[in-house]
Amino acid sequence: MTTATDTRTRTIKIKIKRCDGPGKPAYWQTFSVPVKRGEGANVISCLQYIAANPITDGGVATTPVAWKSGCLEEVCGACTMVINGKVRQSCSCLMDSACPNEGDTLTLEPMRKFPVIRDLFVDRTRLFESLKRVKAWVPIDNLWEQGAGPKETPDEQQTRYKLSECMSCGCCMDACPQFHQIADSAKWQTAFIGAAPISQVRYFNLHKTGATLKADRLSEMASQGGVSDCGNAQNCVKHCPKSIPLTESIAAVGRATTIHAIKQFFTGK
């Protein structure tokens, strides 16, 4: 495929862990993809090339590789996958830095902690269920006009702004040794919830109106699979694409849950 006349073009290898459907066995295929330097090629553009030319390195015609992507600017989390063994967004993985030389290989795998639907496409329903589990919303619905909300200080706003950047991509969970893939959705309620929803507990409890549900959130954090199941391996904070201080959130929620439990112990509620 390489045109020898253009010195800016190089051929790289993309090795992909494929799967034809839920429960089907995984298998590996390698594709050769021509890439031009300086054109901003990323994993998604390479996958688009493969979709248009679904022929393996060995010359075998195959099915196009399935994947999911959305914003292409690292704010939606849809294209999250395991690249060279580590979880991240594929849109922000640029080939000029990841595979700078002729013949470099990039390995793509689906996320490890979410069930595969097909190839690199995973089902992350559990993320949404986790947010529901911790009531990650501000309760403002009512039958009459509530008036203006409580005032927020710039300091609180700054703290919450960083936490608000979470896009529920699941990187923190995929890198976590305490978080596991669970097929049975009934067991999600008692399995370790992961860093992102714990950080959302902090986020919504810091909000003055959101704090009306504080006790509910902290009770969930004290239950099976809550904040106590964290093992402090701290991979989450290393792999958060938004650099959210997840380990600080875990400690802050740990403190709030400790205080909440002591209150419960003495008051019974």
Partner 1 sequence: MSESANTAQPAVPAPFLLRRLHSLAGIIPIGAFLCIHLTTNASIVWGRLGHGGVETFQHEVNFIHSTPFLLLIEVFGLWLPIGFHAVLGFYYAFTGSSNVAHYGYGANWRYTLQRLTGYFGFIFILYHVATLRWGWTWLPFASGFDAHTAASSTAQAIQGGADTSALGGFLIGALYLIGVLALIYHLANGLWTAAITWGLTISAGAQRRWGFVCSGAGLALAALGVMAFVGFVTLDLEAARQTESRLHSEIVNADTPQIAPAVAENNTTTNQSER
**Is residue 239 near partner 1 by the rule CB under 8 A?**
yes
Residue 87: beta bridge partners?
82
Stretch that binds partner 1, among 57-65, 70-78, 161-169, 260-268 (CB under 8 A): 260-268
Question: Residue 122's closest CA among 78, 175, 74, 176?
Answer: 78
| Interface of this chain with partner 1, residues 75 to 114, rule: CB under 8 A | 85-86
Cβ closest to partner 1, residue 109 vs residue 119: 109
Question: Residue 196's closest CA among 155, 230, 158?
Answer: 230
Query: For tokens 């006790």, what's the residue?
Result: 215
**Is residue 230 near partner 1 by the rule CB under 8 A?**
yes
Please answer whether residues 45 and 93 qualify as being in contact, where contact means their C-beta atoms are separated by less than 8 angstroms.
Answer: no
**Is residue 64 near partner 1 by the rule CB under 8 A?**
no
Please answer whether residues 172 and 233 qualify as being in contact, where contact means their C-beta atoms are separated by less than 8 angstroms.
Answer: no
**Is residue 192 near partner 1 by the rule CB under 8 A?**
yes
Exactly one of 175, 193, 196, 201 binds partner 1 (CB under 8 A); which one? 175
Residue 235 gets which letter from DSSP? H
Stretch that binds partner 1, among 17-25, 149-157, 161-169, 216-224 (CB under 8 A): 216-224
Binding-residue total with partner 1 (CB under 8 A)? 39
Exactly one of 238, 240, 242, 244 binds partner 1 (CB under 8 A); which one? 238
What's CA 246's distance to the chain center, in Å?
Answer: 13
Cβ closest to partner 1, residue 208 vs residue 238: 238
Contacts of 144 (CB under 8 A, 6+ apart): none
Contacts of 256 (CB under 8 A, 6+ apart): 201, 202, 205, 214, 218, 221
Stretch that binds partner 1, among 61-69, 117-125, 158-166, 223-231 (CB under 8 A): 223-231
Exactly one of 64, 180, 185, 187 binds partner 1 (CB under 8 A); which one? 180
Question: Residue 129's closest CA among 189, 77, 81?
Answer: 189
Stretch that binds partner 1, among 23-31, 136-144, 160-168, 224-232 (CB under 8 A): 224-232
Residue 25 gets which letter from DSSP? P
Minimum separation from the CB atom of position 268 to partner 1 (A): 5
Minimum separation from the CB atom of position 264 to partner 1 (A): 5
Provide the token pair at 75.
């704010």
**Is residue 226 near partner 1 by the rule CB under 8 A?**
yes
**Is residue 32 near partner 1 by the rule CB under 8 A?**
no
Residue 205's φ and ψ, nearest 5 degrees, are: -75, -25
CB atoms within 10 A of CB 258: 14
Q: Which residues bind partner 1 (CB under 8 A)?
A: 85-86, 175, 177-178, 180, 192, 219, 222-224, 226, 228-235, 238-239, 245, 247-248, 250-259, 261, 264-265, 268
